Amino acid sequence: MADLSGKNILVLGGSRGIGAAIVRRFAAGGGKVAFTYAGSKDAAATLAKETGAEAIHTDSADRKALIATVAGRGALDVLVANAGTAILGDPLTLDPDAIDRLIDVNVRAPYHAAVEAARKMNRDGRIIVIGSVNGDRMPFAGGAAYALSKSAVQGMVRGLARDLGERGITVISVQPGPTDSDMNPADGPMASLMHSFMAIKRHARADEIAELTAYLAGPHGAMITGSMQTIDGGFGA
C-alpha cells in the first residue's frame, strides 16, 4: 500500500464513484484529504464522516470558485482532478450549452486547477487527472465531444509535465475504460457493447482505479510523468 502519511491531498469530484474510491484509498493511506462535490451533498457528507476527509462544495465548471478552493488548501502534495461529465448522442442534436459545460468540467477545470496548485505545490508533488481510454479510442457513434475532452487532457498532461518537471512535480493521466459507476453501471444498456471491445470482459471496479492512482501518488511514482496510465481491460488494445 502506497504510504501517503501526512500528505496534503485534494480530490476534485470526490463524492461518488471513482472519486469516492480515491478519497477512501488516500485516507486509508494516511493522507490529509479534502474533496469537492457539486450536486451530491448527502453522499459527500456520508463519505466525509466515513473517512475523516473534508468535503468542500465547489462546482468545477465555476473557474473562480475552483481556483479559490485549490488556493485555499495551501501547499498541496497531491491534486487529483476527477470531476467529469459525459454527454453522448448525435452531435447534430446535442445542446451546445451542455457541450460547453462538458468542456468546462473535463478540460478547463483540470487545467486551471493544476496551474493554481502548481503555484504553491511542494517539491515532488503529484498532479493526476482522471481521463479516459476514449482519449485514445472511440469505437462507437455519439461520443465525439467526450472523446475530444479526454484527448485534450492528454496534451495538457504532456505540456504541464514539461513545465513542472524541474521541481520534481509529476503530471499524469489515469485512463480508465468502462468502470462501474452511476454514470456507467456494469449492468447498464451499453455494457454488452463495451465488453465486446475488451480483452477482460467486465467493468473495472472503482477501487481498482483508486489503487493505481494511489501508486502514482506515492514514492514509486516519482519518474512517471507526462504519460497516460491506461487501466481499461484491453478496451483500447
Q: Which of 37, 111, 146, 215 is catalytic?
A: 146
Q: Give the integer Cα–Cα distance in Å for 219 and 237.
A: 29
How many C-alpha atoms does 186 have within 13 Å on its Cβ side? Answer: 9
Using alpha carbons, select from 106, 206, 125, 200 the residue that is nearest to residue 165.
125
Kindly give the pairing relationship between strand 126-130 and strand 170-176.
parallel
* Residue 146 among the catalytic residues: yes
User: Residue 108 and residue 136: Cα distance in Å, rounded?
Assistant: 19
Beta strands in 136-180 (DSSP E): 170-176
Cβ-in-10-Å burial (0-12, 13-18, 19+) of 127 comes to buried
Cell of 101: 459545460
Helix or strand run (H / E) with residue 33: strand 32-37
Query: Do 13 and 23 touch, CB atoms closer than 8 A?
Result: no
Residues for the chain: how many in total?
237
Active site residues: 146
